Amino acid sequence: MAATDSFTPLEQSYLNFDQIRPIEPDGADAKFHIDVNAKSVKRLFLDLRLQARQNLKILFSGHKGCGKSTQLNYLAAAPEINEDFLVVKYSIQDLLNPDDLDHIDLLVSMALKAYEAAYKAGLPASKQLQKKVQELADQLHGLIERTTTTASGRKGESGVAGEVGVPSILDFITFRFFARYQLEFSTRDEVRKHYRPRLNELVDTLNAILDEIRLSLAGRKNILIVVDDTDKSPLDKSLYVFEQNGMHLAKPKCFVIYVIDMALVCTGRFRATEAAIGKATILPNLRLTNVAGGVDEEAKANRTLLTRIAHSRMDATLIDEDALNEVITMSGGVMREFMALMAKSISTTLIEERPRVTRADVDRAVIDTRNGFSLGANHIKILKEVLRDPRWDPDSLVEDARSPFLDLLHTLALLEYRNGEDRWRQPHPIVKKLVERLRVEQP
């Protein structure tokens, strides 16, 4: 791979791997995209095509960093999907506060983003649609102004002054409401306190907006809302939003895809959550071994896939074969872990002024990553049990966000793999050696 600008090939390789954001089909990194050919994504695509007129709700899950957002980006951009749907895709990281998430936030954001998407798609806005959105904007404006006047001790206006045209409403949505909602707890708290006893009213407003948009779809069958990065919230927030308030998230009258933390799938109440909201689709990690630790054909194919991904971002001559193999193994088949280990390894190579990545560079990256895991005695106990039996499950139903079992899944210290109906878990390869040593020293 040739260098760009004034960077050396190795420096450019570092930049190619040091990526945090998922790949966008029309982004600069699209040239690096390699289809992982996931069956779960094909199943999701099939549901969208065959049940487009149904207001299905999909809980799209997988370990953080396994590639869910990239898969959703490509699915949302697919011509076949855009023929059937008005696609409304957004990330809560851009609009809301993932560390302080509430189901009311999601319902409000869906209403506003659906209207914004319809306007940007050039769909005609009926008087009834404009009226509904205007009423919602007035209400939200009054609520956020209330927080301003309360904080300053002065009197202020309630609602949007005068009749505001469509562009002004869009400016309010983008530059005033979400800008403050994301940053200010007081604003979020005021909006939530208003709507918590009026949830049915909020849902009715959302559905009225969706119904009016649907009337102008002109050949499309439905509205698809993709709410990304809801798996980035703390586990207690995710449990509150999806387990305790899932019935509200099932009510929007359109097709919705929510992204959820893999730890939620492993709670004792997930079956009830799935029944309340919709069906679950799991994007599994790339399996690099079978349950017995052997390398079968699927594991070989996945290792080959990761090798292709590496060579798409750096020349094969810039990394020793055993170094790349170790990165693949230590990634556990989690895409973001693979990318991060490659970036850290190349960084060490550059600092040491070596011409190519060696196994020693990878070992340094592994140690650095291992130091980032915080494991207590209860975590170690569970990891030992999983090493002994990969199909081990806790004795009782796990429902508490403080559970060390769920915490291990949430932080990727414990990884789950699937092979058809069979599923098992393994400690993250980076912490596995530590657990194996402790199992010998402290049986």
How far is residue 405 from each of residues 336, 379, 384, 412, measured CA to CA in Å?
A: 22, 7, 12, 11
Asked if pLDDT for residue 156 goes beyond 50, the answer is no
Query: What's the sign of the alpha-carbon dihedral 169, 171, 177, 182?
Result: positive
Asked if pLDDT for residue 23 goes beyond 90, the answer is no
User: pLDDT tens digit string along 95-115?
Assistant: 999 999 999 999 999 999 999
Residue by residue, what is the 3-state secondary structure of 96-157?
Answer: CCHHHCCHHHHHHHHHHHHHHHHHHCCCCCCHHHHHHHHHHHHHHHHHHHHHHHHHHCCCCC
Q: What is the distance, to the nearest Å, from the Cα of residue 200 to the centroid of all Cα atoms in its chain?
A: 27
Q: To which residue do tokens 């929007």 refer?
A: 252
Amino acid, res. 54: Q
DSSP state of 173: I
Give the right CATH number for 9-18+287-370 from 2.30.30, 3.30.420, 1.10.3470, 1.10.8: 1.10.8
Instruction: Specify the pLDDT at position 146.
Output: 77
Asked if pLDDT for residue 421 goes beyond 70, the answer is no
The model's confidence at residue 317, banded by pLDDT at 50, 70 and 90, is very high
Nearest CA to 265 out of 395, 411, 370, 416 is that of 416
User: pLDDT tens digit string along 247-271?
Assistant: 999 999 999 999 999 999 988 889 9
Instruction: Specify the pLDDT at position 157.
Output: 43
Instruction: Specify the pLDDT at position 210.
Output: 97
In this predicted model, which residue has the larger pLDDT, 358 or 142? 358
- Global model pTM greater than 0.75: yes
Within the chain, all domains assigned CATH 1.10.8 are found at 9-18+287-370
